[in-house]
Amino acid sequence: MAAEALHVLARVRISGNTPSLSALAALLRLLFCSGEVRAAWNVFEEMATRGPRPSLAIFNAMILGLCHRGMLRAGSGLLGVMEKKFGIIPDVVSYNILIKGHCVFGWSGDAFKLFKEMCSSGCEPTVVMYNILVDVLCHEGRMVEARRLFDEMAQVGIKENTITFNVLIDGYAKTGRMDEARAAYREMKVRGLVPDSCTFNILAAGAYKFGHAAQSIHDHEIFGSQLPADSLDVLVCRLCWDGRLDDAWELLRGAIEQGVPVSVAGFNALIAAYSKEGLHEVAFELYRIMKKLGLAPSTHTFNYLIMGLCNQGRLDEAQLILEHMVSKGYCLRTSFTIYLVTIYLDASFREGDAVRALKCWDDMEKIGLQPDFIAFSAYVNGLCRLDYVNEAYQAFAEMTTRGLEPNNITYNSIISAFCRAGNMSEALKLQQNMRQSGLVPDVYTRNILIDGLCRQGNLKMVDSLLLDMCSNGLIPDTVTYNTIINAYCRSQDMNGAMNFMNKMFAAGCEPDIFTYNIWMHSLCSNHMLNQAGKVLDELVTRGCPPNSVTYNTFMDGICSDVLNRAMILTGRLIKMAFQPNTITLNVFLSHFCKQGFGKRALMWAEKLREDSFVFDDDTRNIIDWAQREMEKDPQVNNEDTDRCLFLEFLMFMTYETMHNNRSSEARHVLADKGFDPGSSNMIKILDTG
């Protein structure tokens, strides 16, 4: 269609006629929707040189198209061009588009700069503008600033609308501040605004997420007589959020039987809920029923179906429905098609299926889809995740060549890939490129680089990077300190590690369980069991519960320690209700081998097999080790019977605990047998619909 439109434009030019501005604006929109960015730019340049002279509407169409493709700098650059070269003053629509684009692609700082620039130029902001900015602050969890900006609207004489309140309520709900969300809802009604279905769904979603779902069902102040006309959809959504899928379907089915009009929204809520639960057969049956009722599926319908399949790793089925959609013409909007393909692409990478992901990328080009910013980011991130560093860098370079400027997340992803590959020079170079492109390396960027340098043992450069980080106003977090402490511990520099532990406390950064586990591992590796015991005590004192890694690390140290002290320390662990796991078994099996009791390791391995314990790769390697030792010297037997009895006691205690836990779980499963929301009963209910 875009090619035909360009052909028509060429014929108009040849005939000596001047195309109208409205026709050219429509052509630009069509070209951008088709991914023909270069063609759109050529049309614009031709207008600038041959006429007709671009209007404000033309510039706004260009800015909108560029922003949709993620080309924010090019869009911003047109503001200067329209004013300086053509004498056209940008209007509030121009700024709305640009600010929205910067917010969508994670450049909120630049969005607020544009907002200030707009206000200083005399262009009056609208409620739409404020809604965009309040929304981005809410998404970033900056609720104090969001509320301040919300209050500013009244001060400058702009009346908020239902969308403004929905944005604010959503921000409070997503950050768990449900009291403030409800207060905003009451304020909304006081100001004479009518809540819509979005308002109720936001409150229901927040209540469900933060454990107030039961309260929300009986909250008559919010969900009572105030339900809007589309109350059926609201009720279905509420029940879905509460996990009451059977009740939601009964409600929708009852409405259908009574002839009450139903909409796609209610079906979408149920399809989304069933897909999320992994009950895809039920979700597809609902889709079939919806079609029978003559309801046209929306973009969200396919979105939920494909996302559900992708989340379950059922990529073959996701591919089939995607192909079905394209063949039946459901994906008429190119941008939506790219979005769905991107979901499938990302899922392929997450499943580790590089062949499928690369084929998907090639197929996009073959069917004429031009990847947008999000698609390129998913492609680069996926390649980085699978350590295809060279391919990721080529895609990254192509992304910038096409004018799709990477954000912090994409930069962090490829910097991380280079660090894992040991190419620190390229990683550091990318950080400089990041700065030159106007992005500010964040704490995540610095943590990635610090980790890469620590892996190489370049601790001097780590100190330098840490100082640079602080001088740029970035506060090192727990991850930063844990990475550095771990590096010093690995290099056997306990003083250096302790120095950074002290710095961590001095900076007011609380150590977490990972910090203590790193420290515990180092102490145990250096046979400093008394100090390790003190760390365990400190954990309990600080209210930071030890996890399985803590226990297993300590157990590993105990097995190598002096026998009398080892027994005392074991008693302390037992008092802490230590819950062993497969790693604990591996610790004891490996110590049987290390201390010359390979025969006992093999006997325990056989007992574990008989009891259907699942072995991991480490267990199998230890068993192979024990077998090799026995083949070398079948008579090998350490004379330290006390040590052997101690290991036998630890192994028996671990075996008994894990055996009892497994029996308890098996009984629980048997008791629950037969309950399956996707069973034949549910299918039967759907069939009767």
Contacts 24+ apart (CB under 8 A), 142-146: 143/171, 143/172, 143/175, 143/177, 143/180, 146/171
Q: In whole angstroms, what is the distance from residue 656 CA to residue 273 CA?
A: 40
Q: How many domains is the chain partitioned into structurally?
A: 3
Instruction: Give residue 440's pLDDT.
Output: 82
More confident residue, 656 or 13: 656
Tell me the C-alpha distance between 300 and 306, whole Å: 10
**Cα(261)–Cα(325) distance, rounded to whole angstroms?**
26
pLDDT at 478 over 50: yes
Neighbouring residues of 622: CB distance < 8 A, sequence distance ≥ 6:
586, 589, 590, 593, 601
DSSP labels, 157-219: T----HHHHHHHHHHHHHTT-HHHHHHHHHHHHHTTPPP-HHHHHHHHHHHHHTT-HHHHHT-
Quick one: 175 and 116 in the same domain? no
Residues 152 and 200 in one domain: yes
Mean pLDDT of the chain, nearest integer? 80
The whole-model pTM stands at 0.64
Asked if residue 334 is part of any domain, the answer here is: no
Does residue 130 lie in a domain region?
Answer: yes
Segment 507-523 shows an average pLDDT of 89
Report d(CA 616, CA 605) in Å as an integer: 12
How confident is the model over 304-357, as pLDDT tens digits? Answer: 888 888 888 888 888 887 777 766 665 545 566 777 788 889 999 999 999 999
Residue the block writes with tokens 């969900």: 223
- Give yes or no: residues 620 and 669 share one domain: yes
Q: Is residue 353 part of a domain?
A: no
Same domain, 135 and 95: no
Residues 99 and 119 in one domain: yes
What is the extent of the structural domain holding 43? Answer: 1-124
Q: What is the pLDDT of residue 340?
A: 78
Rounded Cα distance, 69 and 108, in Å? 17
How far is residue 283's CA from residue 262's CA, in Å, rounded to a whole number? 17
Q: How far apart are CA 559 and CA 651, in angstroms?
A: 11
pLDDT tens-place string over residues 165-179: 999 998 888 888 888
Residue 178, both tokens: 């449900």
119 and 33 within one domain:
yes
- Structure tokens belonging to residue 133: 């900015």
HSE at residue 386, side-chain half, CA atoms within 13 A, is 22
Weakest-pLDDT range from 23-37, 250-264, 512-526: 23-37
Instruction: Among 165, 190, 213, identify where a domain stops.
Output: 213
Mean pLDDT over 394-403 rounds to 87
Using a 10 angstrom Cβ sphere, with 0-12 exposed, 13-18 middle and 19 or more buried, the burial of residue 673 is exposed
Pair of tokens at residue 569:
């320390």
Nearest Cα neighbor of 511 from 501, 520, 521 is: 501
Any domain includes 621: yes
Proportion of the chain above pLDDT 70, given as a percent: 85
- 138 and 174 share one domain: yes
**Dihedral of CA 582/583/584/586: which sign?**
positive
H runs (alpha helix) in 402-493: 408-420, 424-436, 443-455, 459-471, 478-490
What percent of the chain clears pLDDT 90, i.e. is strictly above it?
Answer: 17
Which of 97, 124, 151 delimits the end of a domain? 124
Chain centroid to Cα 306, Å, comes to: 17
Judgement on whether residues 62 and 11 belong to the same structural domain of the protein:
yes
**Residue 481 belongs to some domain of the structure:** no
> How far is 519 from 564, CA to CA, in rounded Å?
24
Asked whether the predicted pLDDT for residue 280 surpasses 50, the reply is yes
Nearest C-alpha neighbor of 209 from the set 180, 172, 183: 172
pLDDT score for 348: 92
What is the residue type of 1? M
In this structure, the answer to whether residues 107 and 135 fall within a common structural domain is no
CATH number for the domain that contains residue 13: 1.25.40.10
Do 112 and 166 reside in the same domain of the chain? no
How much is the pLDDT for 450?
94
Whether 119 and 1 share a structural domain: yes
pLDDT for residue 486: 93
Q: Is residue 228 part of a domain?
A: no
Residue 24 lies in a domain: yes
Q: Does residue 11 sit in the same domain as residue 95?
A: yes
Phi, psi (5° rounding) for residue 287?
-60, -40
Do 270 and 300 meet the contact criterion of CB atoms below 8 Å apart?
Answer: no
Residue with tokens 């500010």: 440
Structure tokens at 578: 């230590």
pLDDT exceeds 60 at position 517: yes
- Identify whether 541 is part of a domain: no
Q: How confident is the model at residue 215 (pLDDT cuts 50, 70, 90)?
A: very low
Alpha carbon of 280 to those of 310, 673, 674: distances in Å? 11, 21, 19
